[in-house]
């Protein structure tokens, strides 16, 4: 069974740091790209970051709103991905989900998601 | 690429047929996915590649379209279908842009 479990959320002050983790099981983690997506309260989904597999040189990408402040990484030996959040802002307050990118039939999608971890940025 | 959805919300009854539209600001071929979002739960993939039903998703859900215009149709709306539905493009990504969502409410 595919599982993604996020952890590390909590309360942090503006300008502070937080590190989120996404522990994966039930699939070939090392061959999968992992993404982070967030949802602010009452809002829709915002894509945050992605890290590709070793075969794709661990390529990373970020949304404009977090670039330069957040860093995505992965540890294939631990089947875990991380999102290091630095210089956080109040507008980073959201539930953060990790998701697996799946390629199928020449297209791709996020087929498995974790339950999410809440990050609250407040003075 | 910008994604828009219409309507932003709708009211429907159990058993109704519901159609939600998603439009991309430029051609995205069929790189369009649909997700269902419920409070307190992770997003659920419904349709990928514009028209492919994700395994385990009821057949009352269907998707169509290509290029810039897409639709999600729910035939015979069920009580568990009241939720928010979002489209997502993965053609020109990153960023993997989501639409703003359509809230399906009980009439």
pLDDT in tens, A29-76: 999 999 999 999 989 999 999 999 999 999 999 999 999 999 999 999
- Confidence tier at A105 by pLDDT (50, 70, 90): confident
Q: Which of residues 54-73 of B touch A (CB under 8 A)?
A: 54
**CB-closest option in A39, A105, A107 to B90:** A107
The pLDDT score that the predictor gives to residue A45 is 96
Contact A113 B99 (CB under 8 A): no
pLDDT in tens, B44-75: 999 999 999 999 999 999 999 999 999 999 99
Q: Rounded to an integer, what distance in angstroms lies between the CA atom of residue B40 and that of residue A27? A: 25
- Write out the DSSP string of A14-53: TT--EEEEEEEESS-GGGSEEEEEEE-TT--EEEEEEE--
Instruction: Tell me which residues of chain B have a pLDDT lower than 70.
Output: none
Shortest alpha-carbon distance between residue A84 and chain B (Å): 19
Nearest to B5 by CA among B22, B18, B17, B19: B22
Residues contacting residue A74 through CB under 8 Å, at least 6 positions apart: A34, A51, A58, A80, A81, A82
CB-CB neighbors (< 8 A) of B96 in chain A: 35, 47, 50, 110
């Amino acid at each position: 069974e595919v599982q993604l479990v996020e952890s590390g959320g909590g309360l942090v002050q503006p300008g502070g740091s937080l590190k989120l983790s996404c522990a994966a099981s039930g699939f070939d983690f090392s061959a999968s790209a992992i993404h982070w997506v967030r949802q602010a309260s009452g809002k829709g989904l915002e894509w945050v970051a992605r890290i590709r597999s070793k075969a794709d040189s661990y390529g990373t990408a970020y949304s404009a709103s977090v670039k330069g402040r957040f860093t995505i990484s992965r540890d294939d030996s631990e089947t875990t991905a991380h999102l290091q959040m630095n210089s956080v802002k109040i507008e980073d307050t959201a539930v953060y989900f990790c998701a697996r990118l799946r390629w199928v039939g020449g297209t791709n999608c996020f087929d498995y998601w974790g339950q999410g971890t809440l990050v609250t940025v407040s003075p | 690429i910008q994604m828009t959805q219409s309507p932003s919300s709708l009211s429907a009854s159990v058993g109704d047929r519901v159609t939600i539209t998603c439009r991309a600001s430029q051609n995205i071929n069929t790189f369009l996915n649909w997700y269902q979002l419920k409070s307190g739960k992770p997003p659920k993939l419904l349709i990928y590649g514009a028209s492919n039903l994700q395994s385990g998703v009821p057949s009352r859900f269907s998707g169509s379209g290509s290029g810039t215009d897409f639709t999600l149709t729910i035939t015979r709306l069920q009580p568990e279908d009241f939720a928010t539905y979002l489209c997502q493009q993965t053609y020109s990504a990153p960023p993997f842009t989501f639409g703003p969502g359509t809230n399906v409410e009980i009439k």
